[in-house]
């Protein structure tokens, strides 16, 4: 690890200011990706601006029937406190990483990083959630722009995520054997106006919506609805040591079916 | 019934108290006054010519004491190889120099180029980044077949090719084996890969060098399984330090699995630099460094043919293996695919003709050497896989086919040099079928089918050669060292005693088991026995721990030394009781004159030995301390039957290990709990190899499984509750304890059982898959199912 300054602001304004004054500074919200990278000397920020000391970024609350989650809320807290209000989301949060990751990692950190194998992006895209930042609201469909890329501007901080609550939902993931990140995972959510299916882990473009499946499931929310649908094109799927693009494409369908069956 | 705390009982491991309460003393816990820190700058390319190393900027960095490159080691030797193999044509193997720091070329990712020594580790790392190293990339050879091609780039330009040796065994059997295969009623052929593994002990390697100017003595603290071997190799061959001026200490060591047998460049570096700088120098491997600098294991590519007659008797076996040596020859590397592999190719079976060909190949990869089982897992895997395939081709039960060909009479001279002293393979197979509830398998398979899953059962029956080995035999086989073991038993005046053993414990629990043996022999509490190991200044010259040799060879040496102690103590007791030596009996810590009620306590005798007021000084010396060196007459031959039950998810290819059963014959067992723990660990590693672990390079020689993000280690949740049994006992006939060794069995017997189980499940599901190379990841299984 290289030397760096550690800044722990008490307000969003102070955090934004700290990031604005130093272009080499980086926002830090749990650090479950950033810390290992810094220890390996793969990241060398001049300053780390920790967001987890900002009370306004923490906690869960009902907001007109929608679920508001502060960006600096840990996975463990979501797993505990969303169990009644959004069980599928709580279940997803409770299966991220291991207990120490869940005790430190936060939803805002996960979304801002947008790892193509992260769990949360699937829930946010699959729920059609709204990402709230220090300066605007971004629809999930506009937020994820590809592997490790989001609509966030330089110095923009995610402050909260607002989830509409579906009638039924479920997240099913197939773990990569080594890292235990999703090799491919599917988040399925049924709303009054239709079904959303978001896939993570599989695509070189990061999290994506599987629209063919959404159409079929909107007609009939049952695993059999997927029988006649081909898996997504293997082209563009991640192909590596742990599985080919064809295998991941196949898993997209398997995991989606399971998510529907278990929703 | 075993005596409480004695042989056959299961006292808890005394060493666990310090391991589990954080009071162990590992090499990294050693911090010496004035210590400096070494940071190794390693190659990030697989093959390249070093054009220049600019050190000026690094030298100017804060805290930097000195930057070392190959130039500083011009007077030093290379890291030696401890075994020489002779090729089929009579030539000796090609043996390139293995420099401490790269000379002229880098030959694998991780090859050390330079070392920065600084006041702090962070300063050393910072300065390492300031080194200006210019490397011209050369084409890398990674795949073994390509490495042997005529026009392949040479890993070592002073060698004629990338072929280290071409070994035939037994060469006299070759023609007869070829003929038998030509004339066989049936021949089953299988091509397979034994996947490359990284040992990943929980404690990474550490070296701390120290130098005492007043005595001109060097000390190395290191994470080693055999400190005396390191002292000999490093002192005599690398740094030219006489053994009486060099002390090697291997304190608590957190797992070795073979990777800590070998002498490594970092050890020689820290010892050398401590003297050069007149300061202690410490290096602690990071996990990332461990992946690219600890010797890897396995990495064989094999074609095996099994010939059978019309009655399904095995008539001949022929195997051809390419064995990856990596870029340099690690300490025992040449012996693993040869003498620890070829000699086991007969397995448990009466195959009259066996011929083994091994070509060892240099590639631009990390050196490959012994990893738990070392050669024997590779032999067992191919044999137990080809037998299963033969059974399927012939439409016979794989268990019956094995039973029909089992060796049943002992001693048995195999066609591959070794002679098995004892064994009862039907007994272990019977035991396995019983404790795995094999009879109930079909019901369980039906239950799986009803849930849309495929269940399979796979078996393997292994043999291994442990307790390596008779020195005169291994000398003939090319070993450059003896393979005896040593022990000194020092009895103190008040009756307690210290055993200084040449064996080394790095998780095996010797401090408990060795004390149990002494406790039994004398009849005193195990608490009165201290076991000392891992320090060349305290223990007699010993060869260390690997190849499941500690109790069989080290334990035997200790028994011999203790016997000498007891013999002398009896003389003292005889004097004290005015009786004849031959009338003295020792039991429960008392010496008794046979047939009388006259007795003296163990403590009375030990006190007399050191306070010899009333003592036979004209016949024997005072004191009570004896040393023995034990060189066994033969290897020991543990064997066992392993059964694996899996359930396969046809949607994803995911394999779940539902049950794993091991019925082993380890001969006599000192501490059943510790033996079971050893088997559990071995099974975890074997299942890890078969199911998840894979050390992978890309075609440019980049290590793509270079961290736990991509190298899959098994976790507790990946493993079932094991059922293990060691009640089938045929004691070893040639060592005093009748023991065989148990450390590697689990890793040897389990991979073929697991692969056989998965293939059984696939066939039951209608998928006619002959073989899948390990690890059987979901992706590989699913891909195989697609046809």
Q: Report pLDDT digits (tens) over B110-138.
A: 999 999 999 999 999 999 999 999 999 99
Structural domains of chain A, ranges and CATH numbers in brackets:
5-50 (3.30.43.10), 56-163 (3.30.465.10), 168-262 (3.30.390.50)
- For residue B434 the two structure tokens come to 């019983």
Establish if B137 touches chain A: CB-CB under 8 angstroms: no
Q: Write out chain B residues lying below 8 Å of A243, CB-based.
A: 777-779
Radius of gyration of chain A (CA): 18
Residue where a domain terminates, one of B560, B595, B630: B630
Average pLDDT, chain B: 96
Same-domain check for residues B247 and B113: yes
Residue B179 domain-assigned (yes or no): no
Best mutation target, B779, B780, B783, B786, to test chain A (most A CBs within 10 A): B779
Same-domain check for residues B107 and B46: yes
Same-domain check for residues B344 and B416: yes
Judge if the upstream peptide bond of residue B775 is cis by omega within 30 degrees of 0: yes
Residue B150 domain-assigned (yes or no): no
Same-domain check for residues B508 and B622: yes
pLDDT over 60 (residue B1): no
Same-domain check for residues B463 and B510: no
B288, B712, B778 ranked by CB distance to A178: nearest: B712
Residue where a domain terminates, one of B579, B610, B630: B630
Rounded to 5°, the CA angle B222-B228-B229 comes to: 90
- What's the whole-number mean pLDDT along residues B661-678? 97
Cross-strand partners of B725: B663
pLDDT over 80 (residue B424): yes
A40, A177, A247 ranked by CB distance to B712: nearest: A177
For chain A, what is the HEC assignment? CCCCEEECCCCHHHHHHHHHHCCCEEEECCCCCHHHHHHCCCCCCCEEEECCCCHHHCCEEEECCEEEEECCCEHHHHHHHCCCCCHHHHHHHCCCCCHHHHHHCEHHHHHHHCCCCCCHHHHHHHHCCEEEECCCEEEHHHHEEECCEECCCCCCCEEEEEECCCCEEEEEEEECCCCCCEEEEEEEEEECCEEEEEEECCECCCCEECHHHHHHHHHCCCHHHHCCCCCCCCCCECCECCECHHHHHHHHHHHHHHHHHHC
Establish if B270 touches chain A: CB-CB under 8 angstroms: no
Q: Please, which residues 665-694 of chain B have a Cβ atom closer than 8 Å to chain A?
A: 692, 694
- The answer to whether the CB atoms of A177 and B778 lie below 8 A apart is yes
- The answer to whether the CB atoms of A241 and B710 lie below 8 A apart is yes
- What's the whole-number mean pLDDT along residues A110-127? 97
Interatomic CA distance for residues B636 and B36, integer angstroms: 45
| pLDDT at residue number B477 | 84
- The answer to whether the CB atoms of A247 and B782 lie below 8 A apart is yes
Q: What is the count of structural domains for chain B?
A: 3
Query: Contact, B778 vs A243, CB < 8 A?
Result: yes
A181 → chain B, closest CA residue:
B709
Candidates A222, A200, A101, A189; CA nearest to A147 is A200
DSSP 8-state code for residue B41: E
CA of B286, closest CA in chain A: separation in Å?
A: 10
- The answer to whether the CB atoms of A244 and B288 lie below 8 A apart is no
- The answer to whether the CB atoms of A242 and B709 lie below 8 A apart is no
Q: Give every CB contact of residue A115 below 8 A, 6+ residues apart in sequence.
A: A33, A121, A147, A148, A181
CA of B68, closest CA in chain A: separation in Å?
A: 23
pLDDT over 80 (residue B2): no
Q: Give every CB contact of residue B682 below 8 A, 6+ residues apart in sequence.
A: B372, B373, B743, B744, B745, B746, B747, B748, B750
Establish if A251 touches chain B: CB-CB under 8 angstroms: yes
Establish if B699 touches chain A: CB-CB under 8 angstroms: no
- For the segment B735-775, what is each residue's pLDDT rounded down to a tens digit? 999 999 999 999 999 999 999 999 999 999 999 999 999 99
Interatomic CA distance for residues B394 and B403, integer angstroms: 15
pLDDT confidence band for B561 (50 / 70 / 90)? very high
Same-domain check for residues B208 and B124: yes
Rounded to 5°, the CA angle B675-B676-B677 comes to: 90
pLDDT confidence band for A251 (50 / 70 / 90)? very high
pLDDT over 90 (residue A34): yes
Query: Contact, A251 vs A173, CB < 8 A?
Result: no
Query: Contact, B133 vs B41, CB < 8 A?
Result: yes
Q: Give every CB contact of residue B356 below 8 A, 6+ residues apart in sequence.
A: B167, B168, B169, B318, B319, B321, B341, B342, B345, B416
Establish if B783 touches chain A: CB-CB under 8 angstroms: yes
- What's the whole-number mean pLDDT along residues A216-242? 96
Q: Give every CB contact of residue B246 below 8 A, 6+ residues apart in sequence.
A: B217, B218, B219, B220, B231, B234, B235, B271, B536
Interatomic CA distance for residues B218 and B537, integer angstroms: 12
Residue B616 domain-assigned (yes or no): yes
Distance of CA A263 to the CA centre of its chain: 19
| pLDDT at residue number B363 | 98
Phi, psi of B62 (to 5 degrees): -60, 140
| pLDDT at residue number B574 | 97
Same-domain check for residues B74 and B121: yes
ipTM exceeding 0.90? yes
- The answer to whether the CB atoms of B782 and A242 lie below 8 A apart is no
pLDDT over 70 (residue B214): yes
Q: Please, which residues 180-219 of chain A have a Cβ atom closer than 8 Å to chain B?
A: 183
Interatomic CA distance for residues A38 and A33, integer angstroms: 9
| pLDDT at residue number B44 | 97
Interatomic CA distance for residues B628 and B556, integer angstroms: 9
Best mutation target, B42, B61, B286, B652, to test chain A (most A CBs within 10 A): B652
| pLDDT at residue number B470 | 83
Same-domain check for residues B448 and B313: yes
Same-domain check for residues B121 and B219: yes
- The answer to whether the CB atoms of A243 and B777 lie below 8 A apart is yes
CATH of the domain at B536: 3.30.365.10
Residue B72, phi-psi category: left (phi > 0), alpha (psi -120 to 50), beta (remainder)? alpha
Query: Contact, B545 vs B506, CB < 8 A?
Result: yes
Residue B36 domain-assigned (yes or no): yes
| pLDDT at residue number B481 | 84
A248 → chain B, closest CA residue:
B779
B695 → chain A, closest CA residue:
A241
Establish if A231 touches chain B: CB-CB under 8 angstroms: no
Kindly list the distances between the CA atom of residue A20 and the CA atoms of A38, A48, A154, B512, in Å, as whole numbers in the listed order: 21, 13, 8, 62
Domain that holds residue B519: 16-22+484-630
- For the segment A10-27, what is each residue's pLDDT rounded down to a tens digit? 999 999 999 999 999 999
| pLDDT at residue number B475 | 86
Interatomic CA distance for residues B560 and B630, integer angstroms: 8
pLDDT over 80 (residue B3): no
pLDDT confidence band for A184 (50 / 70 / 90)? very high
pLDDT over 80 (residue B271): yes
Same-domain check for residues B250 and B118: yes
Establish if B288 touches chain A: CB-CB under 8 angstroms: yes
Residue B164 domain-assigned (yes or no): no
Same-domain check for residues B453 and B538: no
**Cβ of B612: how many Cβ atoms within 10 Å?**
16
pLDDT over 60 (residue A218): yes
Query: Contact, B69 vs B320, CB < 8 A?
Result: no
| pLDDT at residue number B26 | 97
A2, A177, A250 ranked by CB distance to B777: nearest: A177
| pLDDT at residue number B87 | 97
CATH of the domain at B230: 3.90.1170.50
Establish if A122 touches chain B: CB-CB under 8 angstroms: no
Interatomic CA distance for residues B269 and B266, integer angstroms: 5
Same-domain check for residues B543 and B647: no
Average pLDDT, chain A: 97
Residue A48, phi-psi category: left (phi > 0), alpha (psi -120 to 50), beta (remainder)? beta
pLDDT over 90 (residue B310): yes
Beta-carbon pairs below 8 A across chains A and B:
46
**Residue B594: how many CA atoms within 13 Å on its side-chain side?**
7
Q: What is the DSSP string of B241-305?
A: --GGGEEEE--B----TTTTTS--HHHHHHHHHHHHHTS-EEEE--HHHHHHHSPEE--EEEEEE
Residue B578 domain-assigned (yes or no): yes
Residue B124 domain-assigned (yes or no): yes
- For residue A49 the two structure tokens come to 């601006």
- For the segment B462-493, what is each residue's pLDDT rounded down to a tens digit? 999 998 778 888 888 888 888 899 999 999 99
Phi, psi of A159 (to 5 degrees): -110, -30
Residue where a domain terminates, one of B573, B595, B630: B630
Residue B146 domain-assigned (yes or no): no
- The answer to whether the CB atoms of A174 and B778 lie below 8 A apart is yes
DSSP 8-state code for residue B583: G
Q: Give every CB contact of residue A189 below 8 A, 6+ residues apart in sequence.
A: A88, A126, A127, A128, A166, A168, A169, A195, A196
Establish if A175 touches chain B: CB-CB under 8 angstroms: no
Q: Write out chain A residues lying below 8 Å of B655, CB-based.
A: none
Q: Give every CB contact of residue B538 below 8 A, 6+ residues apart in sequence.
A: B500, B532
- The answer to whether the CB atoms of B779 and A40 lie below 8 A apart is no
């Amino acid at each position: 690890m290289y030397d760096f300054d550690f800044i722990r602001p008490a307000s969003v304004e102070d955090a934004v200011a700290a990031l604005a004054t130093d272009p080499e500074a980086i926002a830090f919200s749990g650090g479950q990706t950033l810390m290992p990278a810094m220890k390996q000397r793969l990241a060398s920020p001049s300053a780390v601006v920790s967001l987890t000391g900002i009370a306004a970024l923490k906690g869960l609350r009902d907001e007109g029937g929608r679920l508001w989650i502060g960006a600096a809320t840990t996975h463990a807290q979501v797993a505990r406190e969303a169990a009644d209000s959004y069980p599928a989301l709580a279940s997803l949060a409770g299966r991220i990483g291991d207990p120490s990751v869940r005790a430190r990692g936060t939803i805002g950190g996960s979304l801002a990083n947008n790892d193509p194998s992260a769990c949360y992006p699937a829930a946010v895209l699959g729920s059609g959630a709204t990402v709230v930042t220090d300066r605007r609201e971004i629809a999930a469909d506009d937020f994820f722009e590809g592997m490790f890329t989001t609509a966030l501007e330089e110095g923009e901080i995610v402050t909260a995520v607002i989830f509409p609550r579906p009638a039924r939902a479920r997240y099913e993931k197939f773990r990569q054997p080594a890292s235990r990140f999703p090799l491919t995972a599917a988040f399925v959510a049924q709303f009054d106006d239709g079904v959303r299916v978001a896939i993570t882990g599989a695509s070189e473009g990061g999290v994506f919506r599987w629209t063919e499946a959404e159409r079929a499931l909107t007609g009939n929310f049952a695993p059999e609805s997927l029988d006649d649908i081909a898996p997504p094109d293997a082209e563009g799927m991640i192909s590596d040591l742990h599985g080919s693009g064809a295998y991941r494409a196949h898993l997209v369908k398997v995991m989606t079916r399971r998510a529907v069956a278990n929703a | 019934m075993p005596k409480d705390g004695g042989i056959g009982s299961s006292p808890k491991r005394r060493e666990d108290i310090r391991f589990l309460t954080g009071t162990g003393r590992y090499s990294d816990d050693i911090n010496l006054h004035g210590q400096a820190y070494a940071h190794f700058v390693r190659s990030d390319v697989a093959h390249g010519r070093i054009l220049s190393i600019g050190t000026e900027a690094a030298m100017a960095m804060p805290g930097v004491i000195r930057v070392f490159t190959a130039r500083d080691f011009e007077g030093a030797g290379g890291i030696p190889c401890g075994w020489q193999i002779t090729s089929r044509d009579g030539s000796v193997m090609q043996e390139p120099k293995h420099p401490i720091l790269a000379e002229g070329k880098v030959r694998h990712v991780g090859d050390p180029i330079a070392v920065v020594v600084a006041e702090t580790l962070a300063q050393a790392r910072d300065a390492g980044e300031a080194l200006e190293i210019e490397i011209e990339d050369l084409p890398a050879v990674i795949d073994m077949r390509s490495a042997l091609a005529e026009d392949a780039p040479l890993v070592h330009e002073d060698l004629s090719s990338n072929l280290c040796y071409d070994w035939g065994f037994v060469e006299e059997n070759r023609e007869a084996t070829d003929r038998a295969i030509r004339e066989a009623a049936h021949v089953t052929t299988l091509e397979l890969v034994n996947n490359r593994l990284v040992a990943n002990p929980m404690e990474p390697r550490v070296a701390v060098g120290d130098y005492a100017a007043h005595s001109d003595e060097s000390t190395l603290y290191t994470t080693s399984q055999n400190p005396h071997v390191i002292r000999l190799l490093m002192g005599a061959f690398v740094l030219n330090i006489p053994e009486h001026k060099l002390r090697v200490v291997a304190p608590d060591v957190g797992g070795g699995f073979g990777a800590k047998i070998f002498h490594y460049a970092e050890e020689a570096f820290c010892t050398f630099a401590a003297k050069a700088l007149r300061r202690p120098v410490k290096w602690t491997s990071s996990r990332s460094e461990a992946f690219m600098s600890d010797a890897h294991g396995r990495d064989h590519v094999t074609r095996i043919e099994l010939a059978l007659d019309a009655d399904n008797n095995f008539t001949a076996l022929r195997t051809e293996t390419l064995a990856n040596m990596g870029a340099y020859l690690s300490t025992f590397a040449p012996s693993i695919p040869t003498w620890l592999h070829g000699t086991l190719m007969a397995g448990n079976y009466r195959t009259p003709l066996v011929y083994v060909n091994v070509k060892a190949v240099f590639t631009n990869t990390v050196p490959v050497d012994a990893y738990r089982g070392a050669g024997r897992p590779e032999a067992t895997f191919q044999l137990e896989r080809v037998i299963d395939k033969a059974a399927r081709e012939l439409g016979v039960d794989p268990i019956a086919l094995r039973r029909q060909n089992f060796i049943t009479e002992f001693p048995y001279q195999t066609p591959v040099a070794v002679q098995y002293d004892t064994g009862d393979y039907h007994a272990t197979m019977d035991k396995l079928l019983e404790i795995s509830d094999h009879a109930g398998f079909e019901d369980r398979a039906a239950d799986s089918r009803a849930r849309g899953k495929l269940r399979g059962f796979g078996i393997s029956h292994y043999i291994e050669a442990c307790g390596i080995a008779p020195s005169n035999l291994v000398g003939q086989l090319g070993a450059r060292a003896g393979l005896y073991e040593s022990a000194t038993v020092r009895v103190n005046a008040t009756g307690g005693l210290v055993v200084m053993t040449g064996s080394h414990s790095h998780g095996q629990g010797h401090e408990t088991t060795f004390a149990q043996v002494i406790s039994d022999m004398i009849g005193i509490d195990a608490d009165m026995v201290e076991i000392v190991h891992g320090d060349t200044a305290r223990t007699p010259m010993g060869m260390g721990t690997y190849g499941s040799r500690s109790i069989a060879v080290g334990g035997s040496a200790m028994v011999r030394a203790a016997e000498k102690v007891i013999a002398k103590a009896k003389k003292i007791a005889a004097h004290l009781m005015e009786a004849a030596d031959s009338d003295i009996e020792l039991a429960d810590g008392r010496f008794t004159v046979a047939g009388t009620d006259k007795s003296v306590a163990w403590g009375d005798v030990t006190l007399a030995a050191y306070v010899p007021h009333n003592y036979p000084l004209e016949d024997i010396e005072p004191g009570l301390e004896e040393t023995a060196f034990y060189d066994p007459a033969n290897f020991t031959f543990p064997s066992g039957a392993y059964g694996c039950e899996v359930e396969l998810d046809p949607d994803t290819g995911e394999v779940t290990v539902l049950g794993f059963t091991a019925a082993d014959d380890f001969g006599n067992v000192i501490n059943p709990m510790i033996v079971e723990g050893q088997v559990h660990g071995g099974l975890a590693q074997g299942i890890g190899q078969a199911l998840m672990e894979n050390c992978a390079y890309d075609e440019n020689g980049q290590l793509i499984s270079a961290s736990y993000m991509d190298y899959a280690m098994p976790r507790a949740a990946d493993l079932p509750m094991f059922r293990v049994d060691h009640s089938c006992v045929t004691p070893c006939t040639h060592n005093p304890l009748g023991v065989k060794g148990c450390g590697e069995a689990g890793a040897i017997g389990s991979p073929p059982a697991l692969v056989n189980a998965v293939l059984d499940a696939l066939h039951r599901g209608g998928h006619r898959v002959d073989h899948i190379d390990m690890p059987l990841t979901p992706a590989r299984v699913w891909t195989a199912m697609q046809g």
